[in-house]
Amino acid sequence: MQVLENGLSLREILPAEQQKFSDKDKAWIQQMVFGVLRQLPLLQFWMRQLLEKPLKGKNKVAEFVILLGIYQLAFSRVSTHAAVAETVSACQSLKVQSLKGLVNAVLRNFIRQDLATHTPDNAQIKSGLPNWLYKQVEQHYPEKLGVLVDAMHQQAPIWLRVNQRQITVQDYAKQLSEQQVEFSLSAEHAEAIILPRAGDITQLPGYQQGWFAVQDGAAQMAAALLDAQPNERILDACAAPGGKTCHILERQPNLQECIALDVDQSRLDRIAENLQRLQLNADLLCADAASPDKWWDGRQFDRILLDAPCSATGVIRRHPDIKWLRKAKDIDELVQLQSKIMDAMWPLLKPGGSMLYATCSILPKENHQQISAFLQRHKDASLGATTQHGDPPGRQILPGESQMDGFYYCMLLKSQ
Ligand SMILES: C[S@@+](CC[C@H](N)C(=O)[O-])C[C@H]1O[C@@H](n2cnc3c(N)ncnc32)[C@H](O)[C@@H]1O
């Protein structure tokens, strides 16, 4: 309800709520919340058939109770009896006792009418995506629509990035085998280990010692593409929570300087925590990348990573709240912010230097169209290796491709 009615993200609210419960219940809460947000259009479709009119005001909360009840009945292994009884009793703690009868009747009708077997003949509802985003995916990826929508609906595997400053992938894989943790290696990612099952990663070997970090395979490509060299000055312009900063430092310990910049102090604190656990060092700076005149000392960088704020449409399978928090009208604002930050960063790059532009978006406006417009505005910019032959420019990774999140990369070179 906090996500759907109040526009708050799970990142902001879920950990504090989960804190109040046992480990087992924490996992259950997560499963229920993620499940309802993933399946929302279908759950609402069923609910609308059972509820004569929408509930309003203080009774609204009961709609969310019903969604949770239907979700359990249709998608979980909880017994029918327990799902109904527990869901109805939640009305008590939520102070809508008077709706117990209604919630009970709705759930019993769901079972009696066997609605779980009635899926609508509507591709958008089945996709689990909001209408505007379904249309975008349909427009831009018509040939891959089915596979793509399916990948955005699935639960993502957990990718680990082994910290090569601490341990080799082979030795870490041995540790996992000894603890009977199921995993696979990735042919394309030198430092990656993929866990098919979700679990408490703090319980994996070497968490405290910083032997690994959690980072999707697509995000793990950034440091290799940036390819920082000894004695270079690197700027990570939108760095928090620091996944890519840490990887850059793990791959190249002999940098002259690495500045991790972010506009959000609380998120910058997360970089500090990650650096500390992984035993790495960077200079942290809380500042606006769109206004370097307020903080830049005039010394240019050899390489800049610009992992820009974006729609995050590529990581919906990991963060299903994004589907409902992001609105169609946000996209143009994000595109403007991205181009403003790119333009502001370009003078900070040395002639001959390179800037890696990245987003976790699958929308062309934020990605190759953004780059084409940038190349029009900046005559001293050209496409770098790994992306220069591409038409359209850059590399678009789609969710599910080699088990990765959706991501976009494009390397820009500044002429001498
Ligand atoms: C996609 S996230 C970066 C993820 C990060 N690179 C990583 O790998 O962990 C984008 C970040 O940009 C930051 N941001 C947004 N607008 C910014 C601005 N104007 N200047 C600097 N950082 C900004 C956000 O606070 C957010 O942390």
Mean predicted confidence (pLDDT) in 12-27? 92
Hey, what are 261's tokens?
A: 């910049």
Number of residues that make up the chain: 416
240 annotated ligand-binding residue: yes
Among 161, 216, 262, which is best to mutate for testing ligand 1, by the most ligand atoms less than 8 A from CB? 262
3-state secondary structure of 401: helix
Strand, coil or helix: 356:
strand
Q: Give the nearest ligand 1 atom to 288 CA.
A: 20
Which protein residues are within 6 Å of ligand 1, measured from CB? 219, 238-244, 261-264, 267, 288-290, 307, 309, 341
Give the tens place of pLDDT for each residue, 270-316.
Answer: 999 999 999 999 999 999 999 999 999 999 999 999 999 999 999 99
Nearest protein Cα to ligand 1, atom 27: 240
- Which residue in the list 91, 246, 258, 360 is annotated as catalytic? 360
Q: What is the pLDDT of residue 219?
A: 98
**Ligand 1 centroid distance, CA of 309 (Å):** 5
Residue whose CB lies within 8 A of the most ligand 1 atoms, among 214, 215, 235, 238, for a mutation test:
238
Catalytic residue check, 360: yes
Find the 228 Cα to ligand 1 centroid distance in Å: 20
The structure tokens 């259009």 sit at 41
CB environment 350-362: b (16+ within 10 A), e (fewer): beebbbbbbbbbb
Write down all domains in the chain, each with its CATH number in brackets. Answer: 2-120 (1.10.940.10), 123-153 (no CATH), 158-214 (3.30.70.1170), 221-414 (3.40.50.150)
pLDDT higher than threshold 60 for residue 190: yes
How many CB atoms are closer than 10 A to CB 69? Answer: 24
Beta strands in 310-380 (DSSP E): 349-359
Could you report the per-residue pLDDT of 342-363, keeping only the tens digit for each? Answer: 999 999 999 999 999 999 999 9
Q: Which atom of ligand 1 is nearest to the CA of 309?
A: 10
Residues 321-333 have pLDDT tens digits of: 999 999 999 999 9
For the stretch 93-105, pLDDT in tens is 999 999 999 999 9
Cβ atoms of 403 and 194 within 8 Å: the answer is yes
Question: Are the C-beta atoms of 307 and 358 separated by less than 8 Å?
Answer: yes
Per-residue pLDDT at 386:
64
Phi-psi region of 50 (alpha: psi -120 to 50; beta: other; left: phi over 0): alpha
Tens digits of residue pLDDT in 30-74: 999 999 999 999 999 999 999 989 999 999 999 999 999 999 999
pLDDT of residue 65: 97
What SS3 class is residue 186?
coil
Mean pLDDT (the chain) is 96
Q: Residue 272 annotated as binding?
A: no
The label of the residue with tokens 């219940």 reads 25
Q: What is the pLDDT of residue 15?
A: 93
The pLDDT, as a whole number, for residue 244 is 98
Q: How far does the centroid of ligand 1 lie from the alpha carbon of residue 169, in Å?
A: 29
Using CA positions, which residue lies closest to atom 6 of ligand 1? 239
- Please tell me the predicted confidence (pLDDT) of residue 385: 74
The confidence score (pLDDT) of residue 197 equals 84
Residue whose CB lies within 8 A of the most ligand 1 atoms, among 159, 263, 361, 409, for a mutation test: 263
Q: Is 242 annotated as a binding residue?
A: yes
Stretch 125-142: mean pLDDT? 97
What's the rounded Cα separation, in Å, for the pair 353 and 355?
Answer: 7
pLDDT at residue 8 is higher than 70: yes
- Please provide residue 396's backbone torsions phi and psi, each rounded to the nearest 5 degrees: -95, 120
Q: Which of 348, 351, 377, 362 is nearest to 312 (CA)?
A: 362
| CA distances, 382 to each of 124, 371, 375, 394, 416 (Å) | 39, 10, 7, 11, 11
Tell me, what's the pLDDT at 24?
Answer: 87
d(CA 297, CA 261): 14
Q: Is 241 annotated as a binding residue?
A: yes
CA 319 – CA 315 distance, rounded (Å): 6
Find tokens 């900063």 and name the residue. 245
Q: How far away, in angstroms, is 191 Cα from ligand 1 center?
A: 24
CB–CB of 358/306 below 8 Å? Answer: yes
Distance, CA of 84 to chain centre: 33
**From atom 11 of ligand 1, which residue's Cα is the shortest distance away?**
238
Q: What is the pLDDT of residue 186?
A: 93
344 is in an annotated binding site: no
Condensed to tens digits (0 to 9), the pLDDT of residues 243-279 reads: 999 999 999 999 999 999 999 999 999 999 999 999 9
Measured distance CA(218)–CA(321) in Å, rounded? 20
How confident is the model over 193-243, as pLDDT tens digits?
999 988 889 999 999 999 999 999 999 999 999 999 999 999 999 999 999
Q: Which atom of ligand 1 is nearest to the CA of 240?
A: 27
321 belongs to an annotated ligand binding site: no
Residue range 393-415: average pLDDT? 96
Report whether pLDDT(389) > 70: no
pLDDT on residue 409? 96
Q: 306 CA distance to ligand 1 centroid (A)? A: 8
C-alpha 341 – ligand 1 centre gap (Å): 11
